[in-house]
């Protein structure tokens, strides 16, 4: 098993990426890693080269680059070379913490789509109160989704939840403005009918208010609404942490109290930290492609590596392909 | 100035509604209130009848009722009679904490739309870190919105922010998946172009992550995405409060710490409590119609009454009508 990693992508690259790679090969015996990026920057950080190779390139895609154009023009960028390692069969999966749009383009144009999948979906796993987590997809790969795209998301999400997250017969919910059947806009009404007929554990509509309570294992939505949900959740959590911090710094008494519960609050932050579940998978491509969070530290990279390895080891891509073929044979799509 | 209030709508009706009405007339000299509902239940609670009349009816719309049908069939429901008071000119504005869908139907079918407004918008004011708050619309009155609907939301929201919230030249942002121009789905791309040409202080796209930081005074979106954003924010805040509570109950030490910062945490809860800004306005109707939160207490009702009074006193409805006429004359829509 070999995983290609963009060593130059993310806010803390290459340091945390290289550290994460070294930690991962230490933990996982069967793992080989190709770090794609600038040798001159990677080498001094690579204190243990066991099972790690460097694929040298100095070109990079930055967060300011226009995604599609960058992937087309910067043929030697670390992210592009990383995707080519997968495309040409030298790696089984790849990971980048860099420009999300560029990774989606690299995934689409270089790694390529699974036959039958019209649009890949970006799929983070978000935390729930009970610590189980849920998969939300799509969060922005495809902002003008058609009904059958969402059915494909449901199929891909279910397979991932079952194979990688070990949830038997995962529940699938459709993100909507109310829980009753028949609720929603034109898109969700059409999707609802299709999901009822699909070979899935579809439990109906779920509301954004309930998804952090674990309303469903897989929550399906179009890329626009999913992006709004994800960023609303992130923004609210960050705002509340800011407010908490402010409240705690108010007086000597509150500072004292804050000191007493510091560890418990850290636990809360960890519970909300979705890098614990790995990065966001780009589902529907010919091999696992993982978008690690831009602010990933070594630990987040290790989690993303585990996730990519499990996706490859559990043959998630092949299973999706087979499931789609069965559904097409039955006219079930 | 007379405001009609559905005394029977909401989780704490009629008790908190009646109390809120009494508090409001005490505070506001020029205010008269018509409480619509069951005399037998209202009278024992009405310890001060100054400037308060009861319009007796025993029929009610419940939260389980199908909205459109309930408004059509239950001709004597408190909510329907309340809307008729406005329609027939006996009240200047109305408020209900009951079934949201039914209130939208009553607003649309009984109070009626402003000429030129195709779809009303449900518009809560949400809290920001700096305490200033922002208006989000639409959060679900119209889940299949067309581009020109969102332009009308922007106009109505700006007028409300300026007249009632006293924000000079309020900034208008379009909720989107990224801040750059050209981002988004088919709908937002079309809306973006129209908003650039409209007589508004349009500042471009805003992300859901930034709206609680006060990215814009008025955030415009379609009813589906707005509903997802609103409920994601609510759900995250509730989840975090649950987690905090759990963390605080973990040990003797944390319980002690929790006791020490109890008041500061209450402050945080108040800061996030958007009933402080009144209810959600149903903009685009011939008179102010306010949806108070289902869990409204007397204080939330007082805030909703203030809001309705200010909307009526500042002639928000007429101003919207005039602005639309000017825009139509100029072909600006």
pLDDT tens per residue across span B43-94: 999 999 999 999 999 999 999 999 999 999 999 999 999 999 999 999 999 9
Tokens coding B156: 């109505």
Kindly report the nearest CA distance between residue B239 and chain A, in angstroms: 7
Cβ proximity of B57 and B42 under 8 Å: no
Query: Among the listed ranges A139-153, A309-323, B241-255, B298-312, which one has the minimum average pLDDT value?
Result: B241-255
pLDDT of B247 reads 78
- Among positive and negative, which fits the CA dihedral B198, B204, B205, B207? negative
| Confidence tier at B264 by pLDDT (50, 70, 90) | confident
d(CA A240, CA A21): 33
> In which element (H, E) is residue B326 found?
helix B316-329
Kindly report the nearest CA distance between residue B280 and chain A, in angstroms: 16
Residue with tokens 């294992």: A217
Kindly report the nearest CA distance between residue B160 and chain A, in angstroms: 24
Q: Does pLDDT of B187 surpass 70? A: yes
Burial (CB < 10 A; 0-12, 13-18, 19+), residue A300, is: buried
d(CA B310, CA B78): 23
Cβ proximity of B98 and B16 under 8 Å: no
Which residue in the set A129, A177, A250 is minimally distant from B264, CB to CB? A250
For chain B, what percent of residues have pLDDT higher than 70?
99
Contacts A–B by Cβ distance under 8 A: 163
For chain A, report the end-to-end CA distance as a whole number of angstroms.
33
Task: Tell me whether residues B229 and A234 touch, CB distance under 8 A.
Answer: no
Give B166's strand partners.
none
Task: Tell me whether residues A208 and B232 touch, CB distance under 8 A.
Answer: yes
Residues 6+ apart with CB under 8 A from B149: B118, B119, B121, B138, B142, B222
Kindly report the nearest CA distance between residue A244 and chain B, in angstroms: 7
Q: Tell me how far CA of residue B49 lies from CA of B13, B23, B174, in angstroms.
A: 18, 11, 46
Q: For A93-138, give the secondary structure using H, E and C.
A: EEEECCCHHHHHHHHHHHHCECCCCCCCEEECEECCCCCCCEEEEC
Best probe of the A interface among B235, B250, B271, by most A CBs < 10 A, is: B235
Burial (CB < 10 A; 0-12, 13-18, 19+), residue A10, is: buried
SS3 state at A163: helix
Q: Where are the beta strands (DSSP E) in A238-288?
A: 280-283
Q: Phi and psi at residue A68, in whole multiples of 5°?
A: -60, -45
Task: Tell me whether residues B210 and A235 touch, CB distance under 8 A.
Answer: yes
Which residue in the set A225, A233, A257 is minimally distant from B261, CB to CB? A257
Residue of A nearest to B184 (CA): A143
User: Strand B121-123 to strand A121-123: parallel, antiparallel, or no bridges (unpaired)?
Assistant: unpaired
Q: Does pLDDT of B331 surpass 60? A: no
SS3 state at B331: coil
d(CA A239, CA A142): 28
Give B123's strand partners.
B281
Kindly report the nearest CA distance between residue B33 and chain A, in angstroms: 33
When pLDDT is averaged across residues A118-122 and rounded to a whole number, the result is 94
Residue with tokens 């970006």: A122
CB burial string A190-207: b at 16+ within 10 A, e below: bbbebbeebebbbbbbbb
Kindly report the nearest CA distance between residue B122 and chain A, in angstroms: 13
Greater confidence, A184 or B258? A184
Task: Tell me whether residues A186 and B144 touch, CB distance under 8 A.
Answer: yes
When pLDDT is averaged across residues B32-42 and rounded to a whole number, the result is 98
| Chain A residues whose beta carbon lies within 8 Å of the beta carbon of residue B224 | 177, 184-185, 188, 225
d(CA A10, CA A292): 8
Task: Tell me whether residues B257 and A257 touch, CB distance under 8 A.
Answer: yes
pLDDT of B248 reads 79
pLDDT of B22 reads 97
pLDDT tens for A267-310 read: 777 777 777 788 999 999 999 999 999 999 999 999 999 999 99
Task: Tell me whether residues B209 and A272 touch, CB distance under 8 A.
Answer: no
pLDDT of B134 reads 96
Q: Tell me how far CA of residue A57 lies from CA of A8, A32, A205, in angstroms.
A: 10, 19, 47
Kindly report the nearest CA distance between residue A265 and chain B, in angstroms: 7
Least Cα distance to A86 among A108, A117, A62 occurs for A108
Least Cα distance to A153 among A187, A103, A102, A105 occurs for A187
Other CB atoms closer than 10 Å to residue B28's CB: what's the count? Answer: 17
> Could you tell me how far CA B290 lies from the centroid of its own chain?
6
When pLDDT is averaged across residues B256-262 and rounded to a whole number, the result is 79
Crossing angle (nearest 10°) for helices B252-272 and A223-248: 120
Residue of B nearest to A130 (CA): B243
pLDDT of B271 reads 73
Q: Phi and psi at residue B291, in whole multiples of 5°?
A: -95, 105
SS3 state at B165: coil
> What ipTM score was computed for the predicted complex, to two decimals?
0.92
| Chain A residues whose beta carbon lies within 8 Å of the beta carbon of residue B143 | 177, 184-185
Residue of A nearest to B253 (CA): A260
pLDDT tens for B86-136 read: 999 999 999 999 999 999 999 999 999 999 998 999 999 998 988 899 999
Q: Cis before residue B138, ω within 30 degrees of 0?
A: yes
Average pLDDT score over chain B: 93
pLDDT tens for A5-30 read: 999 999 999 999 999 999 999 999 99
Residue of A nearest to B175 (CA): A228
Q: Phi and psi at residue B50, in whole multiples of 5°?
A: -55, 120
Task: Tell me whether residues B236 and A231 touch, CB distance under 8 A.
Answer: no
When pLDDT is averaged across residues A304-324 and rounded to a whole number, the result is 95
Q: Does pLDDT of A332 surpass 60? A: no
Task: Tell me whether residues A272 and B243 touch, CB distance under 8 A.
Answer: yes
When pLDDT is averaged across residues A47-57 and rounded to a whole number, the result is 95
| Chain A residues whose beta carbon lies within 8 Å of the beta carbon of residue B184 | 143, 224
Give A134's strand partners.
A126
pLDDT of B263 reads 78
Least Cα distance to B165 among B37, B59, B314 occurs for B314
Tokens coding A330: 């039955």
Best probe of the B interface among A208, A210, A256, by most B CBs < 10 A, is: A208
Per the confidence metrics, is the pTM higher than 0.90?
yes
Task: Tell me whether residues B250 and A232 touch, CB distance under 8 A.
Answer: no
Cβ proximity of B33 and B302 under 8 Å: no
Which residue in the set A231, A240, A268 is minimally distant from B237, CB to CB? A240
């Amino acid at each position: 098993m070999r995983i290609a990693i963009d060593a130059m992508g993310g806010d803390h690259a290459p340091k945390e990426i290289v550290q994460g790679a070294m930690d991962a090969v230490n933990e996982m015996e069967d793992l080989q890693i190709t770090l794609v990026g600038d040798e001159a920057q990677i080498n001094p950080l690579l204190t243990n080269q066991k099972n790690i190779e460097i694929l040298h390139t100095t070109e990079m895609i930055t967060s300011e680059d226009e995604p599609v154009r960058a992937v087309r023009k910067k043929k030697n960028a670390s992210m592009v070379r990383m995707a080519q390692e997968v495309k040409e069969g030298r790696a089984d999966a790849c990971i980048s913490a860099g420009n999300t749009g560029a990774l989606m383009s690299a995934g689409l144009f270089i790694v390529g789509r699974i036959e039958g999948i019209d649009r890949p979906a970006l799929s983070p796993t978000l935390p729930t109160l009970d610590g189980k987590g849920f998969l939300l997809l799509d969060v922005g790969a495809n902002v003008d989704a058609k009904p059958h795209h969402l059915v494909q998301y449901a199929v891909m999400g279910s397979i991932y939840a079952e194979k990688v997250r070990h949830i038997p017969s995962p529940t699938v919910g459709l993100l909507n403005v109310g829980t009753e059947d028949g609720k929603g806009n034109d898109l969700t009404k059409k999707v609802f009918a299709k999901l009822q007929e699909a070979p899935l554990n579809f439990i109906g509509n779920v509301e954004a208010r309930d998804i952090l309570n674990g309303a469903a294992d897989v929550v399906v939505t179009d890329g626009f609404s999913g992006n709004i949900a994800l960023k609303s959740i992130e923004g609210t959590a960050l705002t509340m942490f800011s407010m908490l911090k402010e409240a705690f710094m108010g007086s000597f008494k509150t500072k004292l109290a804050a000191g007493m519960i510091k560890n418990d609050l850290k636990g809360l932050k960890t519970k909300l930290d979705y890098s614990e579940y790995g990065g966001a998978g780009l589902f529907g491509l010919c091999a696992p492609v993982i978008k690690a969070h831009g602010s990933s530290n070594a630990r987040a990279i290790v989690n993303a590596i585990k996730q990519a390895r499990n996706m490859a080891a559990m043959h998630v891509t092949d299973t999706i392909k087979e499931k789609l073929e069965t559904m097409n044979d039955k006219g079930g799509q």
